[in-house]
Amino acid sequence: MNLNAESSTPIYIQIAEWIENEILADRLISDGKVYSQYQLAEMFNINPATAGKGLTILLENNILYKKRGLGMFVLEGAKEQIVKKRRDEKLTILARDIVMESKRLFVSDEELIELIRKVQKGG
């Protein structure tokens, strides 16, 4: 993956998301060692402190854990946690957009719920 320096998403967040993607793709597994901040800095040609900040986010969000003197490792259950977090965030954004648009179009709550049920059934 290439980091996008032009993106509004900070580089350290992109690093954290890249590691999450590696976990989702099973390239990093539970209790498996994760790249060090220096390895990430070399891989992406960034400052090690920036890479370290991305790792710290994942540490604080209980995706990674630290073994003193050995580095960082993937916490058991991290993959499931990432899936849940992304589902929750994505669906909340989509639901908010749908509700706002339905209000602009004067669609009642009942009509919106019926529309969702219809779509769920393949209609």
70 and 26: one domain?
A: yes
pLDDT tens per residue, range 24-78: 999 999 999 999 999 999 999 999 999 999 999 999 999 999 999 999 999 999 9
Residues 29 and 57 in one domain: yes
Report in angstroms the alpha-carbon separations of 98 from 102, 113, 123: 6, 11, 17
The pLDDT assigned to 123 comes to: 75
CATH number of the domain where residue 22 is located:
1.10.10.10
Please count the structural domains in the chain: 2
Secondary structure of residue 120 in the 3-state scheme: helix
This model's pTM is above 0.95: no
Q: Give the span between the Cα atoms of 37 and 40, in whole angstroms.
A: 5
If asked whether residues 71 and 89 sit together in one domain, one would say no
For the record, the structure tokens of 114 come out as: 């019926």
pLDDT score at 1:
62
Which pLDDT value is given to residue 42? 96
Q: What is the mean pLDDT of the chain?
A: 94
Tokens at 96, concatenated: 């908010």
At residue 2, the pLDDT reads 74
